[in-house]
Structures are given as C-alpha cells and as structure tokens.
Structure 1
Amino acid sequence: MGESDATIVSMILAGDPRGLNRFLSRYGHMLAEYIRALTGDDNDLFSAVYEDVLVDILKQLRVLAGTHETPEIKKLSGKGELLRPIFESAARTVRRRFPDLLKASEEPKASPLPVDDLAAFANSIDHVDFKTLLEGLAGPERELLVLRYRLGFDYAEISNIIREARVQLEERLVNARHHFRARLFASQQKAMV
C-alpha cells in the first residue's frame, strides 16, 4: 500500500474500488476523528456528515483531476499531499451543510485550580475523560483543537482549511485551549472532592 496520492486518485477516477479503499486507509481515520469531534456520539449525525464529506471530497478529486492524466494529479508525487485539500473540502462541507455543528455555545467560565491542588491534579490526570471534556466545548473550539492537536496541522494549514485569517485563528485557538483547560480543572476539582 505504498502508492502515491496520484496513483490512488487515478485508481478512484478509473473506478477501481481498491483506490477508495486505499484512500480511506490513508485518510479515513483522520476524517472520522475530525467529524466525531464535531458530532459527538450521535451516530446518525456522524454518518450523515461523514457521507456528505466523502461525496464532496470525491467530487473535488474529479475537479482536481479533470481526467486522470492532468498535470495536477501528476504533481501529487508523495503520500499525504492530499491532506490539506481533503480537510479544506471537509471544512467547507461542514460549514455549508451542517452550520449548526459550528455554532458557538455559552463560553465556559474559568475555574482556577489552587496551587496546593496541583500535585493531586497531576496524579489524577490518568482518569480524565477527555472525550466528554471535548464534547462540552462549542463546535468551533472542538474543530480547532482537533485540527491542531490531534491531526497536527500548523496554524497556516488550519488558516487555509477553515478560511480564516491567521491572527483570528490564533486568538480563537488560545481561547479554545483556555476553555478546555478550565473544563479539565473543573472536572479534576469535582473528582478531588
């Protein structure tokens, strides 16, 4: 399964089912993680979003290729070169078809952890339910945290994916980290009581 992205796209466009299998093997888990961060445990919503995102990505590949002999496809010489276009397409699909997923909810209030409790917090971090903490954040914050910290995109890539100025993006990411940290500390304070 060492094919380049160009080979995989050519296989998909030629109707070879192995192309889609290889595409999903390479990128499907990252797409699933991104979409799961936005939809939470709602499997029906997850399925609908994932299906729409995949359909749009396949359409985008056809547009990118025109025919499977175009120079744009031949430029995809390595692995992972489709990553940014895939997530740009996914972000556009989510924003266009599922705007409610990205509506901001009420901002959580910070609840600082007293310095004396830091040792207890450090010892109890293994028992944190990060999934629940992440689901408690607003959709746009979950999206940014997953793109940056789970999928490893840098600020410039995220800025291109979600079509937002880098300065605004950095500010929103700082706020998202702050809100996540506040929820984390609050959950630890409850656990220590």
Structure 2
Amino acid sequence: MDGLRTMTKPLICIVLVLFLWNETGLKRKFHRLIAAGLVFGLAGDVFLMMNNMFIFGLGSFLIGHILYAWAFLTQTSSLSLTKHKGYIFIACLLISYSYYLYSVLKPSLGVLEIPVIAYILVIAAMALFAFTRKQQTNLASFLFIFIGSLLFIASDSILAINKFVAYVPDSGIMIMSSYMLAQYGITTGAVMDRSNRSS
C-alpha cells in the first residue's frame, strides 16, 4: 500500500498541471498562479513522503496556498465586496474554525507552533479569497474552487490531528481522498473560469 501511494501521490499534481496547461495554455496570470501552486503541491507531496522532511512539506504547501490565494485575489473586486457582504460571515466561520483547530493542536506543536499557525492562517485566507470570487466568475468555477478550498482545510486538519494529537482511524484514506478532490476541484474550477476580469 505504501509503495503504491509513493508511486501515485506525486502523479496527482503532475496530471492536474498537464490538464490545466492543455485546457488553458496558461495564457492568463490566474492560470499560471494555479499551475505554480500545483507545482509546490507536488513538492509538498514528495517531501511529506520522506523521513524528517515534514517542515519542508509544510513550507511547500504554504507557498502553494499563497499562490492559490493570490490567484483568487486577482478575481476579487473591492467594489463588489462593498455590495455583497456575505464574505464577512464566511470570514467569521473560518476564523472560528482556525482558532479551534489551533487550540486542539497547540499542546503538541512544540517548535512547530509558529509554522503551523502561519499555515492555518494562510489556508484560511485562501478559502476566504476563494469565496470572494463569487461575484466575479461563473457559478461552476466558483463552486468547484470554493468547495476545493474547504476540502483542503478538511484534509490538512485530519493530517494535523493525526500527526500531533491522536491517531485518526482510516486517516490515510480520508486525507488522500479529500486532498485529491481539493486539488481536482481547484484545477477544474480554474479551467471552468469565465471571469469578469482578463488577468
């Protein structure tokens, strides 16, 4: 099982980068940022499969989420946000969940406390910016990317609890399935994008 996972896990992001490139040509900044995020996701996958490389995996995924957040931010209009304030509710939910997750992890983090806090904040911001695209793109693209961002939070939460707090039954299957769906959702949403902006 571990051998199969070692062979197949890196293929997830490789296949999705090729899919994104084939469908979009990576002509827009939005798509290039998503592709770059997938590349760092690939690096994170490789590091997490190696012994004693967790911090490098964490750092790779952190950069990947920053790139995703940047991509989503390019499709966020400050004018639209003043008219549609639903993002405030989503922000409150994400902040509440982030604090809860941190409180659960905190006793076991040790020297990794600061990197983990940074990661939790960045992935929450990524999900928030995925939501703020709502008024700037078509519904299918919005839903795929926003749901993908939430699945990323779910996947990383299970991984963190399983690593730092306590063993989670069937955690491997839950982490991998939600992770694959997250990356697939974000990539497919990017391909489906019919943004009001040309970037």
By the TM > 0.5 criterion, same fold? Answer: no
- Give the greater-gyration-radius structure (CA): 1
- TM-score bracket for the superposition, by shorter chain length: 0.3 to 0.5
| Higher-helix-fraction structure | 2
